[in-house]
Amino acid sequence: MTEIFAKTEVDRRTLLRRAAAVGMLATPAVGLLSACVGGGEDEPTTQSTGTKSADNPLGIDTKAGVEIVIFNGGLGTAYATDVDTPLFNKKWADAKITYSATEQISTVIQPRINAGSPPDMINNSGSNLMDFGAIVKAGQAADLTDLFAAPSWDVAGKTVAETLVPGAVQQGTYDGKPFAMNYSYTVFGLWYNKKLFEKNSWTIPTTWADFTALLDKIKAAGITPFGYAGANASYYMVRALLTSAAKIGTEQSLKDIDNLKPGAWTADPIKQAAQAWGEVGNKYINKTFLGLKHTEVQLQQDQDKVAFYPCGSWLENEQAKDTPAGFEYAVAAFPSVTAADKLPATAINAAAGEIYFAAAKGKNPQGGKEYLRAMLSKEAALGFTKLTKSLTVVAGASDGQTISPGLTSANDMLTKAGQDVFVGYLFDTWYKKLDDESRGAVNDLMFKGGDAQKFCDRMEAASQAVAKDSSITKFTRS
């Protein structure tokens, strides 16, 4: 996988009307997280600090170096090297940035955190990301209250928080304090080649009957109608199934799952969604995809061998080097499963994500925060969008800009969704055992002819096992 949450472009005026859907407070109910995150050595006796002023609101040492580590995934790293760092050094020329990138954040960074020598700013992302809740509870993440209260880097008269879409600060809040900056904004849906669909006069469906009828047409044309990679991207399918469930029964269905409510996984919305998608797996998926990785299936889509692919809006950028001329990414909302769905066909799942944080016990935590302040400027946000084809949480940063086809499509989908944008679920980052089980269960459902009841019963048993395990910290959402 490339990313947890990340990547898309939307018109900021549209986003501002919807961003309340992003805001979500995750609060630990009891105890510490089970991940192994130590308190490290004693805090360094001399952390770099300077004098606060109007020009230096975070009080950084203007000559102290700042070490940053960026996850090298679907977003790439050019935004850090070509946009953020030059912007930072334009203002603070004597503050040398020490930069590195990795695809294995936990493997590389966790030992440094445990040893008390972390980088100053870390992009915690990817399939190997660290348990951020455990990092917060261990006192390893710096409180970002002063960052969000500081003046914006380039928007006069506003604090950093006031330049962000509603909910952006809350998304990284734990126990009432902000510890993470969730920078990018992802739209999830069914991705397809607009040119291929236009060539064949295929209309994007809004009902399940129209969806399966279209899948029949696509299959008759010799193209795999629907696919995802079972080897390392089965969570794409988990999200697709649970998005459908939320449209059937509202987001409350997903909140019940996150809160480990008994019967949440066997409730009608989940079972109906599993039934519908299980039939798609039985009839329209290439069973060999079970052993493929995400980029392998995505490459087949770029070659017009796969029609629909469930994914987040980082897809267009991730596939940029393999996308041929004449292929135009577009995204559609998952169609209504039943005629009685409580949310309309246009409803979608979209959320802020891609965690960046300053290390509390780094040599220069205030410098790490200042780097984040630079990232949250309109200039940096626009540069990020241009390089990654991804939206940030900085309001209005890309207004009036020409955007890519896939991001334009994502914007159109958000516009059609109106107020019907929901955050989705959080159990995948809260409870690893439950996340792992969901990936195996959905693969069995889609590739091995598993039925909906078996899927629901399996997940219900896994959920209640987590609920009864006192060694696992519990989280709640409302």
CB 248 within 8 A of CB 337: yes
- Report residue 240 as tokens: 């697709």
Architecture of domain 188-349+425-468 in this structure: 3-Layer(aba) Sandwich (3.40)
pLDDT per residue as tens digits for the range 100-143: 999 999 999 999 999 999 999 999 998 788 988 889 889 999 99
Packing angle, helices 452-468 and 268-284, rounded to 10: 130
pLDDT of residue 6: 31
CATH 3.40.50.720 fits 12-186+350-401, yes or no: no
pLDDT tens for each residue of the chain, 478 residues long: 333 333 333 333 333 333 333 333 343 333 323 345 555 545 544 798 899 999 999 999 999 999 999 999 878 999 999 999 999 999 999 999 999 999 999 999 999 999 999 999 999 998 788 988 889 889 999 999 999 999 999 999 999 999 987 778 887 888 789 999 999 988 899 999 999 999 999 999 999 999 999 999 999 999 999 999 999 999 999 999 999 999 999 999 999 999 999 999 999 999 999 999 999 999 999 999 999 999 999 999 999 999 999 999 889 988 999 999 999 999 999 999 999 999 999 999 988 878 999 999 999 999 999 999 999 999 999 999 889 888 888 887 877 777 889 988 988 888 788 889 888 898 887 788 999 999 999 999 999 998 999 999 999 999 999 999 999 888 888 8
Return the pLDDT at 352: 81
Instruction: Report the C-alpha gap between 39 and 168 in whole angstroms.
Output: 28
Q: CB-based contacts of 124: which residues, under 8 Å, 6+ apart?
A: 71, 105, 109, 130, 132, 135, 180, 355, 356, 357
Buried b (16+ CB within 10 A) or exposed e, 447-476: beebbbeebbebbbebbbebbeeeebbbbe
- Predicted model pTM: 0.75
pLDDT at position 16 is 31
**Alpha-carbon distance 95 to 104, whole Å?**
27
Whole-number pLDDT of residue 414: 80
Residues 278/245, Cβ–Cβ less than 8 Å: no
Write the pLDDT tens digit of every residue in 243-284.
Answer: 999 999 999 999 999 999 999 999 999 999 999 999 999 999
Q: Where in the chain is the domain with CATH 3.40.190.10?
A: 12-186+350-401, 188-349+425-468
Token pair listed for 168: 């952006």
Q: Got the DSSP string for 62-128?
A: TTS-EEEEEE-STT-SHIIIIIIHHHHHHH-TTSPEEEEEES-HHHHHHHHHHTT---SEEEE-STT
pLDDT at 37: 57
Q: What is the number of residues in the chain?
A: 478
Amino acid 232: pLDDT: 92
